[in-house]
Amino acid sequence: MMKNFIIASVGGQGGLLATTVLASVFAASGCDVKTSEVHGMAQRGGAVTSYVRRGEKVYSPLVHAGEADVILGLEMLEAYRELPNLRAGGTALVSDEKISPLTSIMGESRYPDLSEKSYLQRAGSAFIVPAVSIAKEAGNTRASNIALAGALSALLGEDDKVPLSVWEAQISRLVPQRTVDVNIKAFYGGRAWMLKPGE
Amino acid sequence: MKEFLYGNEAIARGAYDAGCAIAAGYPGTPSTEILETMARYKDIHVEWSTNEKVALEVAIGASIAGRRALCAMKMVGLNVASDPLMTVSYMGVRGGLVIVDADDPGMHSSQNEQDNRWYGKFAKVPVLEPGDSEEAYLFTKLAFAISEKFDTAVIVRSTTRVSHARSYVNTGERAVPEPVPYVKNASKYVMLPANARRRKPAVLRRIEELSAYAEDTPANRVEWGDTSFGFVTGSISYQYVKDAFPSASVLKLGLSYPLPVNLITEFAGKVGTLFVVEELDSFWETEIRAMGIPVRGKDVFPEAGELTPKLISNGVYRVLGDVAPTQGVLAEPETRFDPEMASLPQRPPVLCPGCPHRGVFYVLKKLNLTAAGDIGCYTLGALQPLAALDTTTCMGASIGHAHGMRLALPEDKAKKVVAVIGDSTFMHSGITPLLNMTYNGVDAPVIILDNGTTAMTGHQGHPGSGQNVRHEESPKISIEAIVSACGRKNVVVVSAYDVAGVEKAVKAALKDPSTVIIARTPCALITRERHAPPSFDPSVCIECGICFMAGCPALERDGKMPSVNATLCTGCGVCARVCPKAALKASFDITGGVAAENGGERK
């Protein structure tokens, strides 16, 4: 069972909502769950990292170096930055969205060239999910976080199937009420992509 | 009922279930959600007070009057509230009084990482430290009971990793104790020197009684395991110890102050090497050494920043070598340097697209001014490329700092000093230094960045916002009227998006430094107002790069020219208004410089 998840995003992308959805889904399926996140200044367009851990008994709410089963990346650079925290053979599940940090806009740094291959240097498996276009198709690009959650739902192992009704119920409860339909669509869009990646 | 809660939600729920009737505080990460959660309970009084000192005074008043009261703040907030704290220790309570303090080890969103356990020892009041949400709930309830049993204020100290972590909580039902009837008792509640002298022995006796209570409080517990070495720990550090050494013996301290001497001595006698694992200062370590017990602590564990299981296992490894049976986390002497990761572009926080502060900072930088800054989102104006701030210390410090700098600098430099402060920070502690300027005949332009909210902590109301803690309408206090009442005659209101208007106002204020400029445009995250993105004509662009100096994440780089990210852009037009050739054109006009009450950016 995958136990340790890191959600990497840029402040404002909805990384904390993705964290809440994931944690609530796991909590609803009965195991011990802890999350940790950082609010305040870090949320203002900076790198935001949050954690979800589950298991029989969870102590630390943080996922530490080399412990993550999955890195769920809402932004390519931020997902890449978290790779050292992935366990050997772990999975990088990354939205193809790129947001330039201000230093790159200023011309003081260069946004790295990132592809599936770059992630595979440090991950057992890597999937670059077209989460923004899936979300756009569903009706709103901002639902890319839930599209990525949909992809994750398909990644969870055979021994660890969370019923789709649980995902649906938690997404419906947690997203802004007028966006429920869009988000459910985005979830299934992400899930469908993951069941047949690359198509 | 089993609920999945943030530490902050659990504290609020614990206080509610304990029958807390009055709750006050001032927003500050990582404490903010405590009062926001309490505000959801409609049958109690909850308020954002103007600052933490006022919040504690409100709570003390409620306690003296016989009701259970709570106040909540971040750790630097307790500095502000320390004046009443030091004396309420002498007075004691009537209804239970709980002060929730949220520390921020690692300084995720703070200007220092002070360890507020010292306030317990300093004020001689007990400190409870939960290590997860379940304990946050239980300890807050316990804190009210301890408060009334021992006639003392109680500090509940959380940290970022407790406040902003979620785990399961077994919640109960709200039980409201009968209010304690009010009886005037001046010898206990009027701290004249003669009364305070009589109260001091009670304070000292109370700490002795609490020390005895610490020996068998349910907040402290021993978990026996392998005894070849053992840990004294608590708070979030306990979780890290359990991850690193699941089978070790642990004395978990929930009551951080005062400490149980017998319990610690007995535990130390039964284990080999004793490690004290605590984030930040050697608070317990110093106390335990004073008991004559040899321990390892800050000689092998870091004193700065947050701990991790790995830092703990590394520290143990340094003392015991590989005899330590670590599980889960590998003890490696050093983390290897990863040059590729180190070379990745960093992503510090930035002012949001559409942030009304951006244009003001652009002007300050352009005019090469010395700006004393303050605490809020706008502290980010200190970062490149705006780099417009010279100082940031604490809430309200900008005006006093500008005052001092004007006095101390040679005239040619002194005349370039201005103060920059947000609206909520101005209400919190900017009024007294402004009054002080007028009183002492010192002038420096003060720029109040009025975005109508306490933005950084997630948009809480304040006396100038017209919204209370429940986002209901409240009396809206006029900043202009306060400024005038402080003796500042020249008050200019401009729209923060009107870059030319801001520049004109700042230049005029440098000539008449008694001027207060109010740059008034609501926070873009609140209004969610969007204009069309600016248009861009590459044939006019001279590739000067000035637009990039506004530092907007929505204005990306395409070679040497700008390219607007239409998803991020709010159309505020600041980039266009700094463009010298009008290659970028804003989608709406803003002229005249005076903003209407709603921000006035639509003409």
CB pairs under 8 A between A and B: 155
| Beta carbons of B11 and B101 less than 8 angstroms apart | no
| 3-state secondary structure (DSSP) of residue A31 | coil
Q: Above pLDDT 70, what percent of chain B?
A: 95
Omega cis (within 30) before B258: yes
* A100 → closest Cβ in B377, B379, B556: B556
Neighbours of B304 (CB within 10 A): 10
Q: Which residue from B456, B428, B405 is spatially nearest to B79, judged by alpha carbons?
A: B428
pLDDT digits (tens, 9 = 90+) for B268-312: 999 999 999 999 999 999 999 999 999 999 999 999 999 999 899
Q: What does the pLDDT read at residue A198?
A: 64
| Beta carbons of B159 and B235 less than 8 angstroms apart | yes
Subunit contact B161:A36, Cβ cutoff 8 A: yes
Q: Could you tell me the two tokens for A170?
A: 């938690």
Neighbours of B65 (CB within 10 A): 16
Subunit contact A106:B548, Cβ cutoff 8 A: yes
Q: Distance from B550 to chain A by nearest Cα, in Å?
A: 10
In this predicted structure, the answer to whether residue B600 has a pLDDT above a threshold of 50 is: no
**At B519, which helix (H) or strand (E)?**
strand B516-520
**Distance (Å, whole) CA B199 – CA B191:** 9
Q: What does the pLDDT read at residue A199?
A: 60
In this predicted structure, the answer to whether residue A152 has a pLDDT above a threshold of 60 is: yes
Q: Distance from A41 to chain B by nearest Cα, in Å?
A: 5
pTM of the predicted model, to two decimals? 0.95
Subunit contact B160:A110, Cβ cutoff 8 A: no
Q: What does the pLDDT read at residue B592?
A: 43
Q: What is the DSSP pairing of strand A68-73 with strand A47-55? A: unpaired
Average pLDDT rounded to a whole number, residues B398-416: 98
The CA-atom distances, in angstroms, between B293 and each of B237, B396, B416 are 21, 44, 57
pLDDT digits (tens, 9 = 90+) for B558-577: 999 999 998 889 999 999 99
* A65 → closest Cβ in B109, B310, B348: B310
Q: What is the DSSP pairing of strand A68-73 with strand A4-10? A: parallel
8-state DSSP, B176: P
| Beta carbons of B206 and B153 less than 8 angstroms apart | no
In this predicted structure, the answer to whether residue A64 has a pLDDT above a threshold of 90 is: no
Omega cis (within 30) before B218: no
Q: Which residue from A45, A138, A126, A61 is spatially nearest to B346, judged by alpha carbons?
A: A45
pLDDT digits (tens, 9 = 90+) for B95-146: 999 999 999 999 999 999 999 999 999 999 999 999 999 999 999 999 999 9
β partners of residue B516: B446, B491
| Beta carbons of B434 and B447 less than 8 angstroms apart | no
**Distance (Å, whole) CA B499 – CA B362:** 8
Average pLDDT rounded to a whole number, residues A175-179: 95
pLDDT digits (tens, 9 = 90+) for B300-316: 999 999 999 989 988 99
Buried b / exposed e over B312-343, threshold 16 CB at 10 Å, is: bbbbbbeebeeebebeebebeeeeeeeeeeee
Q: What does the pLDDT read at residue B466?
A: 96
Interface ipTM: 0.94
Subunit contact B109:A62, Cβ cutoff 8 A: no
Q: Could you tell me the two tokens for B214?
A: 């610490």
With CA atoms as reference, the chain B residue closest to A9 would be B347
Average pLDDT rounded to a whole number, residues A38-65: 88
Q: Distance from A100 to chain B by nearest Cα, in Å?
A: 7
pLDDT digits (tens, 9 = 90+) for B222-259: 999 999 999 999 999 999 999 999 999 999 999 999 99
| 3-state secondary structure (DSSP) of residue A95 | strand
CA pseudo-torsion sign B330, B333, B335, B337: negative
Query: What are the backbone angles phi and psi of residue A49, rounded to the nearest 5°?
Result: -120, 130
Q: Distance from B161 to chain A by nearest Cα, in Å?
A: 7
Q: What does the pLDDT read at residue B345?
A: 95
**Distance (Å, whole) CA A40 – CA A51:** 17
Of A43, A44, A144, which to mutate for an interface test with B (greatest number of B Cβ within 10 Å)?
A: A44
Buried b / exposed e over A54-80, threshold 16 CB at 10 Å, is: beeebbbbbbbbebbbbbbbbbbbbbb
Average pLDDT rounded to a whole number, residues A176-185: 96
Subunit contact A64:B557, Cβ cutoff 8 A: no
Subunit contact B240:A60, Cβ cutoff 8 A: yes
Q: Distance from B330 to chain A by nearest Cα, in Å?
A: 10
**Distance (Å, whole) CA B50 – CA B57:** 11
| Beta carbons of B250 and B235 less than 8 angstroms apart | no
Subunit contact B351:A44, Cβ cutoff 8 A: yes
Subunit contact B344:A77, Cβ cutoff 8 A: yes
β partners of residue A47: A10
| 3-state secondary structure (DSSP) of residue B500 | helix
Subunit contact B548:A84, Cβ cutoff 8 A: no
Q: What does the pLDDT read at residue B597?
A: 34
The separation between the first and the last C-alpha atoms of chain A, rounded to the nearest angstrom, is: 27
**Distance (Å, whole) CA B320 – CA B334:** 16
Q: What does the pLDDT read at residue B13?
A: 98
β partners of residue A51: A6, A36
Neighbouring residues of B415: CB distance < 8 A, sequence distance ≥ 6: B510, B513
Q: Distance from B276 to chain A by nearest Cα, in Å?
A: 18
Q: Could you tell me the two tokens for A165?
A: 């009704």
Q: Which amino acid does the sequence have at B399?
A: I
Subunit contact A61:B167, Cβ cutoff 8 A: yes
Cα dihedral B325, B328, B332, B333 in deg (nearest 10): -60
